[in-house]
Amino acid sequence: MLRIGYGFDVHQFGGCRPLIIGGVNIPCMKGIKAHSDGDVMMHSLIDALLGAACYGDIGSMFPDTDAKYNNIDSRKLLRIAWEKITRQGFLLENIDITVILQVPRINTYIYQMKHHLSQDLNCSVTSINIKATTTDTLGYIGRSEGIACIAVVLLTR
């Protein structure tokens, strides 16, 4: 049985938190506004995984109204969600992620991001694709007011 999941997350720049994408601290002049660490890649990936397994979404599993998730490392959330999913017999086939931001450029950090995901999901880096794009200065992302991420996963059982 094949199961496809889709995840999306967006965060606004302007907060005091560092910019963390895929568990990597990215040098950036602007901070992120968020309840947890604001890692859009981890959040969209968690949503995609939960969606493929029919387990709802990240907000249901880790509500931002719960103080225990304030400042939490999103890699920890990913590991918790993945453990629940694998207990039901799901296997990861592949991940495809697109990070959408105008600045900063993240291409030099992609291998490190893939390495973090492969550790957290106990899979090969060859099962993970990460790419980055801009909006060519259009919209809130183009004005460097925020960052977004889309993740798609394929699970089998």
DSSP 133-150: E--TT-HHHHTTSEEEEE
Question: Quick one: which of 70, 40, 50 has its CA closest to 130?
Answer: 40
Q: Is the pLDDT of residue 30 over 90?
A: no
Give CA separation, 94 vs 105, 149, 156, in Å: 24, 17, 10
Average pLDDT, the chain: 95
35-66 b/e with 16+ CB inside 10 Å = b?
bbbbbbbbbbbbbbbbbbbebeebeebbeeee
Q: Is the pLDDT of residue 31 over 90?
A: no
- On the 0-12 / 13-18 / 19+ scale of CB atoms within 10 A, 82 is buried
Per-residue pLDDT of 40-59, as tens digits, reads 999 999 999 999 999 999 99
pLDDT on residue 20 = 96
Q: Which residues pair with 149 in a beta bridge?
A: 9, 99
Confirm or reject CATH 3.30.1330.50 for domain 2-156, answering yes or no: yes
Give CA separation, 70 vs 17, 33, 66, 90, in Å: 12, 12, 7, 29
pLDDT on residue 67 = 87
Q: Is the pLDDT of residue 29 over 90?
A: no
Q: How confident is the model at residue 16 (pLDDT cuts 50, 70, 90)?
A: confident
Domain parsing of the chain, residue ranges: 2-156
Q: Is the pLDDT of residue 71 over 90?
A: no
Per-residue pLDDT of 87-131, as tens digits, reads 999 999 999 999 999 999 999 999 999 999 999 999 999 999 999
Per-residue pLDDT of 134-150, as tens digits, reads 999 999 999 999 999 99
pLDDT on residue 39 = 96
pLDDT on residue 28 = 87
Q: Which sign does the torsion angle of CA 90, 96, 97, 98 carry?
A: negative
Average of pLDDT values for 59-86?
93
Taking the model in full, what pTM does it have?
0.96
